[in-house]
Structure 1
Amino acid sequence: MASKLNQLRGRTVEVSSFVAKNGGAYYKQLMEKNKQYIQDPPSVETCQLLANQLFYTRLASIPGRYEAFWKELDSVKQLLKRRNELKIEDAGIVALFGIECFAWFCAGEIVDEDLP
């Protein structure tokens, strides 16, 4: 156990020194590459305006997502109605969808446990 802790410490020192050495250059490169997304002047009011725009844009997209959800659910119902003529590809897609739903459920439970 102590050797694992020493390995972890050594790796942490390596990573922190790498970040200290290359972090500034990476930050500058990242900002230069994405300067079209930077709002000028950077003020609290500008940030609040952008936050409100994001919130209300997402709120406005709910009806479209709601409609898409029901279309997807209808297609699943149709698939279940004709399950006798189901191809192996369709069965694989259904299985992957079920696994994905289960994984999101598990991730939500894990996150929920970690929250205070």
Structure 2
Amino acid sequence: MAGLASKLAQMQAKACEATRFAAKHGCAYHRTLMEKNKKYVADPPTIEKCQELSTQLFYTRLASLPGRYESFWKEMDQVKNVWRNRKDLNVEHAGVAALFGVELYAWFCAGEIIGRGFTLTGYYV
């Protein structure tokens, strides 16, 4: 119990230090960040403009769906073609497919760990 209390005190001290740093340097950082990226700021920067841009983004993504759908089926046709000609596969192609499968599994595991709050067991201590 004492170990947990000392960890809590350390976390509080670090949080206070981070808050002081942000309070001291936050405005200057914000100013330089906005100056560097002013070409991305919509004029005038109002709530209405943000809502308009949000709507544009939504419908632009919606408009891209047919192209994505077509690309998906082209890739599926390539996979079907490779499966039909699997006798012609060489070690390199099999290795690339295996590495791809391992990478997918690793991303799945990482997503599970992140989803559980960066715990390996899923339980909070």
> Normalized against structure 2, the TM-score is what?
0.70
Taking the TM superposition and a 5 Å limit, the aligned residue runs for 1:62-81 are 62-81=65-84
In structure 1, what is the equivalent of residue 122 of structure 2?
Answer: none
- The DSSP-based 3-state class of the residue aligned with 2:62 is helix
**Corresponding residue for 1:3?**
6
Residue identity opposite 2:20 in structure 1: S
Tell me, in whole angstroms, the C-alpha distance in 2 between the residues paired with 1:20 and 1:52: 34
Q: 1:56-95 alignment to 2 at 5 Å? A: 56-95=59-98
CA distance in 2, matches of 1:89, 1:26: 49
How has the CA–CA distance of structure 1 residues 93 and 28 changed in structure 2, closer, same or farther, with 3 Å as cutoff? Answer: farther
- Unpaired runs of at least 5, structure 1: none
Structure 2 unmatched runs, 5+: 118-125
Aligned CA distance change for structure 1 residues 64 and 80 (closer, same or farther; 3 Å): same
- What is the CA–CA distance in structure 1 between the aligned matches of 2:8 and 2:36, rounded to whole Å? 38
Q: Offset at 1:36?
A: 0.7
Q: Which has the larger radius of gyration?
A: 2
In 2 relative to 1, CA 85–58 (structure 1 residues): closer, same or farther, beyond 3 Å? same
1 CA distance for matches of 2:28 and 2:5?
A: 35
Q: How many angstroms does 1:58 deviate by?
A: 0.4
Letter paired with 2:76: L
The amino acid across from 1:78 in the alignment is N
Out of 38, 43, 64, which is 1:40 matched to? 43
Separation in structure 2 between the aligned mates of residue 33 and residue 6 of structure 1, nearest angstrom:
38
Identity %: 52
SS of residue paired to 1:40 = coil
The correspondence for 2:19, drawn from 16, 20, 23, is 16
Structure 1: which 4+ aligned runs deviate by more than 4 Å? Answer: none
Amino acid at match of 1:58: R
